[in-house]
Amino acid sequence: MKQELERVEQEALEAIKGVSDPTGVKTLKARYVGRKGVVTALLRKISGLPPEERPETGRLANELKKRLEKAFEKALQAFEADRGELMADALDVTLPGRPLARGRMHPITQMTKAICEVFQRLGFEIVEGPDVEWDYYNFEALNIPRDHPARDMHDTFYISENIVLRTHTSPIQIRVMESQSPPVRIIAPGKSYRVDSDISHTPMFFQVEGLMVQENISFGDLKGVLTTFAHQIFDEETSLRFRPSFFPFTEPSAEIDIRCVICRGAGCRVCSHTGWLEVLGAGMVHPAVFEMVGYDTDRYTGFAFGMGIERIAMLKYGIEDIRKFYENDLRFLEQF
């Protein structure tokens, strides 16, 4: 009987090692220590043994039963633990994927590109100039001499007596004309700087400068080009208004308004109830400027214009505070 018990124990422990799932363990458990199990059957047989053997054998058999029950329990727990671990790092392939945050161009960059593309389609070439500029190019060559009152128009950041942060993109006109002869057809986007900061001004802002010079260029050409520009950036219904103005480097000069894109001219807060929005400065290049760069004023005429890119973007997207463009708030920037 003792040997029988030992053999059963060996066999059961061996069998446990071979199971691969909890059901297997439960089946084994029933086979050995269940009501109809091998060990249970052995326990029953004890009553048939000689009386002197019964206590010892009974004790051994009961101990064996306990050990086996423990072994089965342990095996079950091991499976449970494995299952828990699997559940913990389970991969739910039905979950939607996590989108990657995509970067995009700053709204001002997008607007600059859109503006340049309109003019490129009209045959204008993109050029650039330095942000840190000679006083000569920024003022002098644009017919704004040192003591000219027009310099009051610009609150300038001076680097030194003769060097400034350019207050507009107009000096690029001079640089281009100095380096090539007509025909000239350029567009020059870039940063400009003025000592100014409020709801509609930032110390650094963007402008696009335009210049077209060749024989027989008239104010009509300027009007045609700018009208095409407004139609393509806003829409075909957008009309323009030219108001007489003054710039030292153009004559005649004009300030150009577009029909308010918000209220379509009916009058609203954005256009201060005038129905018009000022978007551009422009005019026919002043002969004094041509003389500065050595162009023949009898032969050539040209027009020039300059616009603030933020302003166009504000109108296009209905933004009321220019500073929003430069606060780097992703909630704002992600909308474009």
Sequence-ordered list of residues with C-beta below 8 angstroms from that of 266, at least 6 positions apart, any chain: 260, 275
User: 209, 230, 258, 259: which one contacts ligand DAH (CB under 6 A)?
Assistant: 209
Q: At its nearest, how many Å lie between ligand DAH and the CB of residue 305?
A: 5
Query: Is 57 an interacting residue with respect to ligand DAH (CB under 6 A)?
Result: no
Query: Is 304 an interacting residue with respect to ligand DAH (CB under 6 A)?
Result: yes
Q: Encoding tokens for residue 26? A: 């439960």
Q: At its nearest, how many Å lie between ligand DAH and the CB of residue 250?
A: 4
CB closer to ligand DAH out of 68 and 187: 187
Query: Is 247 an interacting residue with respect to ligand DAH (CB under 6 A)?
Result: yes
Q: Encoding tokens for residue 168? A: 């507009």
Phi-psi region of 174 (alpha: psi -120 to 50; beta: other; left: phi over 0): alpha
Residue among 304, 254, 302 nearest 279 (CA): 254
- φ and ψ of 126, to 5 deg: -85, 130
Q: At its nearest, how many Å lie between ligand DAH and the CB of residue 272?
A: 20
Q: Which residues pair with 305 in a beta bridge?
A: 210, 282
Query: Is 190 an interacting residue with respect to ligand DAH (CB under 6 A)?
Result: no
Q: At its nearest, how many Å lie between ligand DAH and the CB of residue 108?
A: 17
* CA-angle at 190, arms to 189 and 193, nearest 5°: 140
Q: At its nearest, how many Å lie between ligand DAH and the CB of residue 209?
A: 6
Query: Is 164 an interacting residue with respect to ligand DAH (CB under 6 A)?
Result: no
| Site stretch for ligand DAH (CB under 6 A), options 117-125, 218-226, 235-243, 300-308 | 300-308
Angstrom distance (rounded) from CA 77 to CA 242: 87
Query: Is 282 an interacting residue with respect to ligand DAH (CB under 6 A)?
Result: yes
Count interface residues toward ligand DAH (CB under 6 A): 11
Q: What is the DSSP string of 141-188?
A: GGT--TT-GGGGG----EEETTEEE-SSSTHHHHHHHHH-PSPEEEEE
User: 29, 65, 166, 168: which one contacts ligand DAH (CB under 6 A)?
Assistant: 168
CB closer to ligand DAH out of 71 and 289: 289
Residue among 176, 163, 164, 89 nearest 129 (CA): 176
DSSP state of 52: T
Q: Encoding tokens for residue 70? A: 């423990």
Residue appearing with tokens 């727990």: 77
| Site stretch for ligand DAH (CB under 6 A), options 53-61, 175-183, 234-242, 299-307 | 299-307
Query: Is 143 an interacting residue with respect to ligand DAH (CB under 6 A)?
Result: no
* CA-angle at 204, arms to 199 and 206, nearest 5°: 95
Q: At its nearest, how many Å lie between ligand DAH and the CB of residue 313?
A: 17
User: 57, 112, 138, 170: which one contacts ligand DAH (CB under 6 A)?
Assistant: 170
User: 37, 171, 302, 306: which one contacts ligand DAH (CB under 6 A)?
Assistant: 306
Q: 184-193 and 125-126: which strand pairing?
A: parallel
DSSP state of 294: T
Q: Which spans of this chain sit near ligand DAH (rule: CB under 6 A)?
A: 168, 170, 209, 247, 250, 281-283, 304-306
